[in-house]
């Protein structure tokens, strides 16, 4: 009978470190605690999400499989900022389907995917108003992106948002009508619909 080995595989994460949890964004590991569940000792990362006033406990052994990751490096942040300077790509599919795709990108925890949502949903002052649901998704993506950039660059979130907005202002669609490149992925000729009353 094999001796019970204690799960001390701390993976690569340690207390005091900022991490990204896919469904919640940037959090800080404030401790590692042990709990006994059904006779099994479990080591748990205690992650605090300051802005949401929330704490999450994630089993150490499951940290990688749930998609928890270290903060992006400076090169990834640079690539994310380059992404939002690009031309928006908007599929000609129903809004509800696009909204699901945007939400999946936001919750993927992938900084580049999140920056694509920011790029695609951004509206300058000269552009048509966003629907409520578009605005909500844009704000969520901007929030996730700015929190990670702030943590990586060790700047305030306000400064991170300013950096993002300065890069968005450099994107090629500042001229009203030529709003966004519509990808030739029109699925069965679905019309673009927006749900104003989300």
Q: What is the pLDDT of residue 69?
A: 94
Which tokens sit at 76? 């990834």
Helix (H) or strand (E) segment spanning residue 41: strand 40-49
Q: Where are the alpha helices (DSSP H) in 85-131?
A: 95-106, 111-121
Residue 9 half-sphere exposure, CB side, CA atoms within 13 Å?
9
**pLDDT tens for each residue of the chain, 198 residues long:** 444 444 444 568 999 999 999 999 999 999 999 998 899 899 999 999 988 889 999 999 999 899 999 999 999 999 999 999 999 988 889 999 999 999 999 999 999 999 999 999 998 877 888 899 999 999 999 999 999 999 999 999 999 999 999 999 988 864 443 444 444 333 434 444 444 443
Q: What is the pLDDT of residue 171?
A: 83
The residues, any chain, with a CB within 8 Å of residue 77's CB and separated by 6 or more, are 111, 148, 149, 152, 153
Q: Which of 30, 4, 36, 32 is nearest to 17 (CA)?
A: 30
Residue 142 half-sphere exposure, CB side, CA atoms within 13 Å?
21
Domains along the chain with CATH numbers = 18-70 (2.40.10.170), 74-182 (1.20.58.1290)
Q: Is the pTM of this model over 0.85?
A: no
Q: What is the pLDDT of residue 34?
A: 93
Q: What is the pLDDT of residue 52?
A: 81
Is residue 81 within 8 Å of residue 176, measured between CB atoms? no
Beta strands 89-90 and 181-182 are parallel
**pLDDT tens by residue, 10-48:** 568 999 999 999 999 999 999 999 998 899 899 999 999
């Amino acid at each position: 009978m094999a001796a019970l080995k204690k799960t001390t595989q701390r993976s690569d994460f340690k207390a005091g470190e900022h991490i990204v949890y896919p469904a919640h964004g940037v959090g800080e590991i404030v401790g590692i605690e042990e709990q006994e569940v059904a006779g099994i000792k479990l080591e748990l990362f205690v992650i605090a999400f300051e802005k949401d006033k929330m704490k999450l406990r994630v089993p150490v052994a499951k940290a990688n499989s749930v998609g928890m990751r270290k903060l992006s490096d400076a090169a990834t942040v640079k690539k994310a900022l380059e992404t939002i300077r690009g031309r928006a790509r908007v599929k000609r599919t129903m809004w509800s389907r696009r909204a699901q795709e945007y939400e999946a990108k936001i919750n993927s925890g992938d900084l580049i995917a999140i920056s694509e949502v920011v790029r695609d949903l951004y509206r300058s002052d000269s552009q048509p108003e966003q629907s409520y649901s578009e605005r909500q998704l844009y704000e969520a993506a901007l929030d996730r992106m700015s929190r990670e950039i702030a943590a990586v660059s060790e700047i305030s979130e306000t400064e991170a948002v300013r950096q993002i907005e300065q890069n968005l202002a450099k994107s090629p669609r500042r001229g009203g009508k030529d709003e966004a490149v519509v990808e030739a992925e029109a699925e069965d000729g679905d019309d673009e619909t927006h749900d104003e009353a989300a």
